[in-house]
Amino acid sequence: MNTKPKSKWYWRLLRWGLIGLAVLVTLVAIAVTEEDWRGRHAWESYKHAAEARGEHFDWAFYTPTNIPDDQNFFCAPVMAAALNTNEPGPAYFGIYRGDSKLWPTDGGNWQKQKMVDLKTWQQYFRAYNATSEGSTNGFRLPTVQGTPAADVLVALGTFDAAREQVRQASLRPYAWLPLHYENGFEVAEELMPALAYEKRCGRFFQLRALAELADGRSDLALDDVKLLLAVTDSMRTQPFLISHFVRLALFSLTMQPIYEGLAQHRWNDAQLAEMEAALAKEDLLADFQTALRGERTCAIDSFENQRLTRKMEFPSEENGVAVIVTNSMRLMPSAYFYQNELAFAQVYEQFILPMVDLTNHTVSVASYKSAVAENERRMKTLHYWSLYAIQSLMVFPAVAKSVEKFAAAQGDINLARTACALERYRLAHGEYPPALDALAPQDIEQVPHDVINGQPLHYQRTDDGKFVLYSVGWNETDDGGTVVLNKNGSVNREKGDWVWKY
C-alpha cells in the first residue's frame, strides 16, 4: 500500500481545479440569471406595450366564473343532464342508433345542389325499430307507413320534450361551459363530450327542419333553424379553437335547410326577412380573432403555469387506462418560459391575427401565404431552431390554416343572406333581379360583399329562370361559378369558387 503523501503540486492543482469549477459554476449562474432577466424583461416589455394597444394576456379575462347558473345555457337541466352522462335518452338527441350499417350516409350537400333524401331516414327509423323489437329505446312511428317527411317527424317526436327544454335554455342570456379552465389545454378531456353533444343537437335540429319543410310546415322549420343557430352560437365565446371548429361544422348543417327551403320556394317573405336578420348577426371574422386570442392566451398561461410549478403534465394512456404523465422541469431556466410566452404572443400578433381585416370585413389570402412562407423560412434557419421559438413555429401551420375555415363559413353566410334577399325579390316581382344592386334596401339593408377581396359577389341570372351566385373563393380567381370536387366527391374549398345555385 502506497502511503506516500501527496506532493504540493497535487494540492495546488486540486485547489485551482476547485477554484476553476467554482468560477465556472458562478459564471454559468450569472449567465443563467442574466438570461432569465433578459427573458423576463423582453416578455414584460412586450406585454405592457401590447396591453396598451388593447390586448389581454390574463387567462381569467377569457374564462369568466361569475355567470349565475340560472342564466347559463349549459347549466339548464337538459344540458347538464346530457353533459354529465353517456346514457342515451331523450335529452341525448341520439338519432343514430343500432347497427351503423343501417345509418343514412347521404346527408345532402347544398354546395353540390344535393337535397337530403328523407326516404332513407324513414327506412332507417323503421329498420331500427324492427331490429330492436321489444326494446324501450325505439323511435315513435305510426303503424301505417306515411310519407317520408311525416314518418321522420313522428320519429323525431321522441325528443319533443327535450327539444322544448333546449328552446327554453336558449333564452338564457349566457352560454358558458362549466369546465376547469384553470387546467388550460388539459381541459380538452372535459370539453370533448360537450362538443359531441353539440353535434348531436345540430344533426337533430337540421333533420327536423328539413322534414318540416318537406311536410309544408315552414314556420316550424324556421323555429328549428333558429334553434340550431342558438346551439351553434353557444360556442361563440369559448376560448379554444377546437370549439369553434365544431361551431363552423354546425353552421354547415344550418345551411342545408336554408338552402333547400330556398331552392323549393318554401319560405315566405316574413320568414326570409327573419332568417336573413338572424344570419346578419353572425360575424365569424370577429369570432376568428376572439378564438385565436383565447388560444394564444391559453398557451401563454400554460407556459406560465409550468414556470411556477416547474412541471409539465399531459394526458396519456397506460394499459388502456387514462393517466396524467408529469415531466419535471426543475432545471429549466426561467428564460425558457418567458421567451416562449413572448414567441407565441408575437407570432399571433404579427402573422395570424392580421389575416383578418375587421375594418373591411375581409380575409387576406395574401397575408396567409406570406405568413406561411415566413414561417417556413424561419424553420429552415438554424437560429430559430431554439427552445425559445421552435414550439410556436411548429404550432403555426395548423393554427394559421384555421383562417380558411372561418373565411369559407363566413362566405357561406354571405351567400345565404344574399340568396334570402334574392328570393324576397322574386316573391315580389315574379323573377330574380337583373343585378344585386336592386336588392337594397328593400330586400336587404346592404348586400354582403365577397369576404375574400371585398368586391361585390358575382351574380347572374340563368336561362332557366334561376341564378348563379358566388365568391371567388380561396384561390382568389373567378372560375365562372365552378365547384371543384376532390377524388372522394367532397367539395374542395381551396379550388374553384364558393357557389350558391339551384
Q: Which amino acid type is present at position 56? A: H
Tell me what the mean pLDDT of segment 35-53 comes to.
Answer: 93
Residue with C-alpha cell 421559438? Answer: 389
Asked, for residue 299, whether it belongs to a domain, the answer is: no
How would residue 28 be classed by pLDDT, with cut points 50, 70 and 90?
A: low
What would the pLDDT profile of 167-181 be if each residue is shown by its tens digit?
A: 999 999 999 999 989
Q: Could you tell me which residue, 254 or 139, shows the higher pLDDT?
A: 254
Instruction: Copy the grid coordinates of residue 17.
Output: 481545479
DSSP-derived 3-state class of residue 472:
coil
What would the pLDDT profile of 349-379 be if each residue is shown by its tens digit?
A: 999 999 999 999 999 999 999 999 999 998 8
Rounded percentage of the chain residues whose pLDDT exceeds 70:
89
Asked, for residue 344, whether it belongs to a domain, the answer is: no
Burial of 121 (0-12, 13-18, 19+ CB in 10 A): buried
pLDDT over threshold 60, residue 48: yes
Q: What is the pTM of this model?
A: 0.90
Domain count, the chain: 1
> Which residues, at least 6 apart from 470, have a Cβ–Cβ distance to it below 8 Å?
415, 457, 458, 459, 481, 497, 498, 499, 500, 501
> Which residues, at least 6 apart from 296, have a Cβ–Cβ distance to it below 8 Å?
344, 345, 348
pLDDT over threshold 60, residue 323: no
Q: Could you tell me which residue, 162 or 80, shows the higher pLDDT?
A: 162
Bridge partners of residue 388, in order along the sequence:
none
pLDDT over threshold 80, residue 32: no
Alpha-carbon distance 109 to 103, whole Å?
17
What one-character-per-residue DSSP string does 151-165 give? HHHHHHGGGHHHHHH
Alpha-carbon distance 412 to 110, whole Å?
10
Alpha-carbon distance 252 to 256, whole Å?
7
Q: Which amino acid type is present at position 228? A: L
Mean pLDDT of the chain: 90
Asked, for residue 169, whether it belongs to a domain, the answer is: yes
Asked, for residue 255, whether it belongs to a domain, the answer is: yes
DSSP state of 322: E
Check residue 331 and give its pLDDT: 80
Quick count: other Cβ atoms within 10 Å of Cβ 372? Answer: 15
Alpha-carbon distance 203 to 228, whole Å?
9
pLDDT over threshold 90, residue 217: yes
Residue with C-alpha cell 323549393? Answer: 264
What would the pLDDT profile of 255-299 be if each residue is shown by its tens digit?
A: 999 999 999 999 999 999 999 999 999 999 999 999 999 999 999
What would the pLDDT profile of 182-215 be if each residue is shown by its tens digit?
A: 888 888 888 888 899 999 999 999 999 999 999 9
Q: What is the largest CA-CA distance in the chain?
A: 117
Asked, for residue 333, whether it belongs to a domain, the answer is: no
What would the pLDDT profile of 107-133 be if each residue is shown by its tens digit?
A: 799 999 999 999 999 999 998 887 765
State the Rg of the chain over Cα.
Answer: 29
> Which residues, at least 6 apart from 317, have a Cβ–Cβ distance to it below 8 Å?
323
Alpha-carbon distance 216 to 222, whole Å?
12
Rounded percentage of the chain residues whose pLDDT exceeds 90:
68
Give the CA dihedral 353, 395, 488, 214, nearest 10 degrees.
Answer: -50
How would residue 4 be classed by pLDDT, with cut points 50, 70 and 90?
A: low
Asked, for residue 179, whether it belongs to a domain, the answer is: yes
Domain that holds residue 263: 65-267
Tell me what the mean pLDDT of segment 28-40 comes to.
Answer: 77
pLDDT over threshold 80, residue 309: yes
Check residue 430 and give its pLDDT: 97
Please check whether residue 63 is in contact with residue 177, taking contact to mean a CB–CB distance below 8 angstroms: no
Asked, for residue 260, whether it belongs to a domain, the answer is: yes
pLDDT over threshold 70, residue 476: yes
Check residue 390 and give its pLDDT: 85
Half-sphere exposure of 257 (CA within 13 A, CB side): 37
DSSP-derived 3-state class of residue 222:
helix
Check residue 134 and give its pLDDT: 44
Half-sphere exposure of 373 (CA within 13 A, CB side): 6
pLDDT over threshold 70, residue 84: yes
pLDDT over threshold 80, residue 382: no
pLDDT over threshold 70, residue 332: yes
Asked, for residue 157, whether it belongs to a domain, the answer is: yes
How many angstroms from the chain centroid is the CA of residue 61? 20
Quick count: other Cβ atoms within 10 Å of Cβ 69? Answer: 12
Alpha-carbon distance 145 to 150, whole Å?
9
How would residue 140 be classed by pLDDT, with cut points 50, 70 and 90?
A: confident
